[in-house]
Homo-oligomer: A and B are copies of this chain.
Amino acid sequence: MTGNTFGKLFSLTTFGESHGPAIGGMIDGCLAGVTIDFEAIQYELDRRRPGQSELTTSRQESDQVEFLSGIFEGKTTGTPIGFIIRNKDHKSQDYEHLKNTFRPSHADLTYQKKYGIRDHRGGGRSSARETACRVVAGAIARQMMPNEIKVWAYVSSVGEVKLDKSYKDMDPLAVDYSSVRCPDADRAIDMIGLIEKVRSEGDSVGGVITCVVQGLPAGLGEPVFDKIHADLAKAMLSINAVKGFEIGSGFAASSMRGSEHNDAFNQDLSTKTNNSGGVQGGITNGEDIYFRVAFKPVATIMKDQTSYDLQGAEKQLEGKGRHDPCVVPRAVPIVEAMTLLVVADHFLRQRVQTSL
C-alpha cells in the first residue's frame, strides 16, 4: 500500500535508506529452476554505481549484493529471493547541516510534511541509491526470460546535445563504448564535452534516455488499466528525476493525421511502420517497443542556494558534496531494469492465459 512493491506476478519489494546499515529487497515470483549468473548481476550494478567513470560523482559505492534466500546450488527455487547491499563510505556528517533545512527541488520538505519525521542523511529513502535494488531485480528478470527478449537503453540527449537518429541505426553493443552511454560516437563526444563544461560550472544538466524492447511475443499487457505501456510509464516516472515519457510516435503524434499515423499491415500481419511503438490497445503486437524518458537536471548543484527552516529562518546552502553533474549515463541500467521488471511481470501474467 505504501508503494514499496512493484509488479504483480514478478515483483520487487525494496527497503532501505542511503545512510542506514543496508538497502535491500525481495524478488518474488521468479520461476523455479533459473540458473543465476551472479557476474551478470554485478556487471549491471557496476554500470549503475557512482564513481565508475570520470563523468560521475567521485563518491565510491561498491554495491556488492548479498543474496540471502531463494537460490540453492546456483538455481532459483521458486521461493522469494531476498538480498541486501551494505552501505559503505558513509559520510553522514556531510549531511548534519541538512537536519533542519530543506534543499530546493529535493524531497526533504515533502517527506517532512508527509511523515513529520525523516532520515535527513543523503536523502534517506528518496536517495537514488534505492535504485541499486531495482538493478539487481532487473538483472534476474532478464535471466528468467527467453534469450530472444532484448531490453537495451542508451542516452539520446544531454542538455541541448541531441541524437537525431532512430534506435534502428544504433548498435546495442556500442552503448557502453563511451562513458556517457551514447552509441553514436560523435554525439557521445559532444555529450561528454557538455557534461564536463557543466561540471566545471558547478551546475547539472538533464537528458533523455531511449529504451528498446525487442523479441517480445504478441499478447503481453492487459486491456484496460494495466496496459503494458501504462505500466512502463509508471515504471519510468518512478525513477528519480524523470519528468516525461513517450512511446512510439509520442508527443509528435499529437500533430499527425490518422492516415499518416496508422501502421499498415504486411501480409503476415506485421506492420510496415511502427508509430504505435509495438503496443496496440495496451497489448504487444510483436513489433519493437521503443520509448523515451526525460530526466531533469539533478537538484544537487555546486552553487550556493538559499533555503529556510520550518520556522522561516533563512539558511544558506553551500554547494558541496560529491554528486553527478548529469545522471543519465548512470540511469541507463536503471531504465533497463525497470523495463525488465514490467516485461517480466507481463510475461508471467500472460502464462496464465496461454499455458496448458
Segment at the interface with B among A50-58, A113-121, A171-179: A113-121
- Write out the residue numbers on chain B whose beta carbons fall within 8 Å of the beta carbon of A109: 218, 269, 280, 285
A246's contact among B218, B227, B294, by CB below 8 Å, is which?
B294
Question: Which of A8, A72, A75 neighbours the largest number of chain B CB atoms within 10 Å of its CB?
Answer: A72
Contact with B along A6-38 (1 / 0, CB 8 A): 101101011111001111101011011100000
A15 to B29: give the CA distance in the assembly, Å.
12
Inter-chain CA distance A249–B296, complex, in Å, is: 8
Q: Which residues of B contact A17 (CB under 8 A)?
A: 69-70, 72, 77, 79
Which A323-356 residues have C-beta < 8 A from chain B?
Answer: 348-356
Q: Say whether, besides A234-B233, A269-B308, A117 and B253 are in contact (CB < 8 Å).
A: no
Give A161 Cβ to nearest chain B Cβ, in Å.
Answer: 9
A15 to B267, CA, bound (A): 33
Q: Is the CB of B15 within 8 A of A82?
A: yes
Cα of A80 to Cα of B204 in the assembled complex, Å: 31
A215 at the interface (CB under 8 A from B): no
Contact B22 A69 (CB under 8 A): yes
- Are the CB atoms of B296 and A254 closer together than 8 Å? yes
Instruction: Kindly list chain B residues whose C-beta atoms are within 8 Å of the C-beta of A29.
Output: 1-2, 352
Say which residue of B219, B227, B229 sits within 8 Å of A3 (CB atoms): B227
A102 to chain B: which residues have CB within 8 Å?
265, 269
Residue total for A at the interface (Cβ-Cβ under 8 A): 152
Count the copies.
4
B253 touching A206, Cβ below 8 Å: yes
Q: Is the pair A281, B204 in contact by a Cβ cutoff of 8 Å?
A: no
What chain B residues lie within 8 Å of A277 (beta carbons)?
Answer: 243
B206 and A255 within 8 A (CB): yes
Contact between chains at B115 and A265 (CB < 8 Å): no
- A15 adjacent to B26 (CB under 8 Å): yes
Question: Which B-chain residue is minimally distant from A86 (CB atoms)?
Answer: B68
Cα A328 to Cα B169 in complex, Å, equals: 34
Q: Contacts A233-B233, A257-B203, A257-B204 known; A3 to B251 CB distance under 8 Å? A: no
Please name the residue on chain B nearest to A222 by beta carbon.
B3
Would you call A41 an interface residue if the criterion is a C-beta within 8 Å of the partner chain's C-beta atoms? no
Complex CA distance for A203 and B260, rounded to whole angstroms: 9
B78 touches A353 (CB 8 A): yes
Query: Is A47 in the interface zone, CB < 8 Å from B?
Result: no
Instruction: Supply 12 further A-B pairs (C-beta < 8 A) apart from A2-B79, A111-B223, A254-B296.
Output: A1-B9, A4-B80, A15-B70, A21-B68, A68-B84, A113-B286, A114-B283, A126-B282, A205-B258, A243-B248, A244-B254, A249-B296
7 A–B contacts, CB within 8 A, in A order: A2-B223, A109-B269, A110-B219, A110-B285, A237-B245, A237-B247, A243-B254
The 7 closest A-B pairs by CB, nearest first: A107-B281, A3-B226, A355-B355, A3-B222, A15-B82, A244-B246, A204-B258
